[in-house]
Structure 1
Amino acid sequence: METEKEKMIHGDLYLAGGEELKKDRRKAKILLHRLNVKEYRITKNARLILAELIPNSGKNLYIEPPFHCDYGYNIFCGENVYFNVNCVVLDCNKVTIGSNTLLGPGVQIYTATHPLDAVTRRTHEMAFPITIGSDCWIGGNAIICPGVTIGNGCVIGAGSVVTKDIPDNSLAVGNPAKVIKKLNQNIQELDL
């Protein structure tokens, strides 16, 4: 029989009030308090806190406090990932962020969602994974909804709400976000 944590990670209906999940959220909140209140600067100690909070990250993860997440251990970052201030990651399911990706201030990443049926919604939640590719720039206050994949080399405009997958090398803007331009098509023509 699956635990509530296993159900959560598999994208099934689960009970968020289970003891194991409450314990995990409590641990994350303690670490976030240390990061957001006691440190509030990226110090050696803050880097140790981040390593414990987000153990599945590559080199040079940089997070400007304040930062908020549910668990931390469901966030998987490549190398050189940057979160600006006030980012929120509801990581009830896996959040994968590729290398060299920048997230602007106030970006919100939501794996968590709720059933449409009101009676089921009273007790249960669901969560679907989110993937953001490498070399992306997610503009300030963008919202990434559950189950979305953003390809490599994408730019998501500030304030956009991403409800559907975005293909590689796309500029997407709006609510809901729509691809308005392909990017990096003639990169060899650039005078670097």
Structure 2
Amino acid sequence: MDLTERPTPDPDRSEFDKMVAGDWYRYRSGPELAEMTNSTQRTCRRITALYDEDRDAAYALLTGMLGTAGENLDFRPPMYLDYGSRLHIGRDTFINGDFLTLGGGEITIGNNVLIGPSARLYTPIHALDVDERRAGYERVLPIHIGNDVWLGGNVVVCPGVTIGDGSVIGAGSVVTKDVPAGVIAVGNPARVVRTIGEPE
């Protein structure tokens, strides 16, 4: 994505259509976007309220609002999502409490993934120009987390990042660039420290 490209008005498309296409859109001016996020956030609150009393109902609410949900998805509330339909989670994945996905970029989480508490997945990039930022322009980039990945607690994954299969991201790390498969990455910004299986 060319971040120097400037937003241009396009009244013939909805803000949602622009968002899904990865174009500049105004998240404050599209009523359909506000309704989608409000509806998703209401559902997240209902899931949290239901979880202790009727776990099956909470699970059904969660899987029903996601884009896709694999078998044996396990989670702990609370969970905070902006657009449930833009999140895809594979089978046998576990998501610990205080999980947050922000923005309308597509997020794909693979199979057998472990996500620690307070993980944050951010997809939006705001305009650099102050006037355009005040006007609410942003774009989104997808996030892809491969199979068998482990994200430690308080990990932040930034827009456009791919984390390869089997990799481990240390607690508190901020992942700003792609991480290859089969490595351990830690820090802010996260850096690969070794390949899994290598001596420490």
Asked if TM exceeds 0.5, the reply is: yes
User: CA separation in 2, counterparts of 1:10 and 1:41?
Assistant: 40
Secondary structure in structure 1 of the residue aligned to 2:108: strand
User: CA separation in 2, counterparts of 1:21 and 1:46?
Assistant: 24
CA apart distance, 1:26: 1.7
Output one character per residue of 1:76-101: Cα deviation in whole Å (capped at 9) or x when no partner. 11111111011111141100111000
TM-score (norm 2): 0.88
Say yes or no: does 1:20 pair with 2:29. Answer: no
CA contact (8 A) 1:154 1:170 kept: yes
CA contact (8 A) 2:80 2:98 kept: yes
Say yes or no: does 1:181 pair with 2:194. Answer: yes
Q: What is residue 5 of structure 1 aligned with on the other side?
A: 16
CA apart distance, 1:3: 1.8
CA apart distance, 1:16: 1.1
Q: What is residue 157 of structure 2 aligned with on the other side?
A: 144
CA contact (8 A) 1:72 1:91 kept: no
Q: How many residues align?
A: 186
Q: What is residue 133 of structure 2 aligned with on the other side?
A: 121
Question: Closer, same or farther in 2 for the Cα pair 1:91/1:76, shift >3 Å?
Answer: farther
Q: What is residue 189 of structure 1 aligned with on the other side?
A: none
CA contact (8 A) 1:41 1:64 kept: no
Q: 47, 57, 64: which one pairs with 1:45?
A: 57
TM-score (norm 1): 0.91
The farther-off stretch of 48-57 and 81-90 is 48-57
Say yes or no: does 1:82 pair with 2:80. Answer: no
Secondary structure in structure 1 of the residue aligned to 2:172: coil
Q: What is residue 162 of structure 1 aligned with on the other side?
A: 175
Superposed CA RMSD in Å reads 1.7
Unaligned runs of 5+ in 2: 1-11
CA contact (8 A) 1:60 1:79 kept: yes
CA apart distance, 1:125: 1.5
